[in-house]
């Protein structure tokens, strides 16, 4: 097993920054877009950075397998024997990359015994990096400024009479569907942002109270945010209020989920999925 320490973290941060430089280079030029079997877009940037990350991580850590969104057809019979592995998304927010919103990131997560334990979310155009390691804390680096993220507590008394819940979503079109699942005892304010991991980071930072995702994501989309949330008093749960799993099923596709900033809140009184 790899030692969870600052040396390991710094080695992987360097790889993430190099991958971000490659994404910036692709971002400056015209790129071809293809549609995958699952009807989502993929670009040459996704494929190039996937190969780059896989080669770099394998060269440094030859005993640790790499599972990438762009190379995820490894049989479960093989995957389930892994004690730890790197889980990567070379370009989280491919559609944002194509639409030139700047809201995309490189994701690298170390998963050990089916639990994410180290993660990096690097958004190169925004000069923004979040990173976390189990029992080490979660950090935000903006430019050259680094700050440790504190433990979140959600205060529903921010407004005197009618508490407002701040919810991150991926698109304005999903607001009504999300609203239909919410308790009528709150007011709701929606924040629209691309890149699943950047929305998760907003939750970990306490900028929003939760992030709701109704629709298809992969385990690589949530693993990085999960480490950040674990270090900041947050959590992720599905529509049955159960935790998400990693490499425990044939499929790598997540169910619908909610990321919350403060796990001590009685969220099942707010979200009424049924």
| Residues contributing to the annotated binding site for substrate | 69, 91-94, 221
- Where does CATH 3.30.540.10 sit in the chain? 6-148
Q: Assign a CATH topology to domain 164-269.
A: D-Maltodextrin-Binding Protein; domain 2 (3.40.190)
- Where does CATH 3.40.190.80 sit in the chain? 164-269
Question: What is the per-residue pLDDT for 158?
Answer: 52
| Residues contributing to the annotated binding site | 69, 89, 91-94, 221
Q: Assign a CATH topology to domain 6-148.
A: Fructose-1,6-Bisphosphatase; Chain A, domain 1 (3.30.540)
Per-residue pLDDT of the chain (274 residues), as tens digits, is 999 999 999 999 999 999 999 999 999 999 889 998 888 899 999 999 999 999 999 999 999 999 999 999 999 999 999 999 999 999 999 999 999 999 999 999 999 999 999 999 999 999 999 999 999 999 999 999 999 999 999 876 554 566 789 999 988 888 999 999 999 888 899 999 988 999 999 999 999 999 999 989 999 999 999 999 999 999 999 999 999 999 999 999 999 999 999 999 999 999 998 7
3-state secondary structure the chain: CCCCCHHHHHHHHHHHHHHHHHHHHHHCCCCCEEECCCCCEEEHHHHHHHHHHHHHHHHHCCCCCEEECCECCCCHHHHCCCCEEEEEEEEECHHHHHHCCCCCEEEEEEEECCEEEEEEEEECCCCEEEEEECCCEEEEEECCEEEECCCCCCCCCCCCCCCEEEEEECCHHHHHHHHCCECCCCEEEEEECCCHHHHHHHHHHCCCCEEEECCCCEHHHHHHHHHHHHCCCCEEEECCCCCCCCCCCCCCECCCEEEECCCCCCHHHCECCC
Question: What is the per-residue pLDDT for 74?
Answer: 95
| Residues contributing to the annotated binding site for Mg(2+) | 69, 89, 91-92, 221
The pTM is what? 0.95
Question: What is the per-residue pLDDT for 157?
Answer: 57
């Amino acid at each position: 097993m790899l030692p969870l320490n600052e040396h390991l973290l710094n080695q992987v941060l360097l790889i993430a920054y190099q991958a971000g430089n490659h994404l910036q280079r692709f971002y400056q030029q015209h790129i071809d877009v293809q549609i995958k079997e699952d009807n989502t877009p993929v670009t040459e940037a996704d494929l190039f950075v996937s190969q780059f990350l896989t080669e770099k991580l394998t060269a440094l850590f030859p005993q640790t397998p790499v599972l990438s969104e762009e190379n995820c057809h490894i049989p479960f019979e093989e995957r389930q024997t892994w004690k730890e592995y790197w889980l990567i998304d070379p370009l989280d927010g491919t559609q944002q990359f194509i639409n030139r919103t700047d809201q995309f990131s490189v994701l690298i997560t170390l998963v050990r015994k089916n639990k994410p334990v180290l993660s990096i979310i690097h958004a190169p155009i925004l000069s923004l990096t979040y990173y976390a390691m189990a029992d080490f804390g979660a950090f935000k680096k903006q430019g050259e400024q680094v700050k440790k993220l504190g433990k979140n507590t959600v205060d529903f008394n921010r407004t005197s009479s009618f508490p407002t819940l701040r919810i991150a979503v991926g698109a304005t079109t999903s607001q009504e569907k999300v609203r239909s699942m919410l308790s009528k005892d709150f007011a709701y304010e929606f924040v629209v942002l691309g890149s699943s991991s950047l929305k998760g980071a907003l939750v970990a930072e306490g900028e929003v109270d939760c992030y709701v995702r109704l629709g298809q994501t992969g385990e690589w989309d949530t693993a990085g945010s999960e480490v950040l949330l674990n270090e900041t008093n947050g959590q992720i749960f599905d529509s049955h209020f159960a935790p998400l799993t990693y490499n425990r099923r044939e499929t790598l596709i997540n169910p619908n989920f909610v990321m919350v900033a403060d796990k001590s809140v009685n969220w099942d009184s707010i979200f009424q999925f049924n």
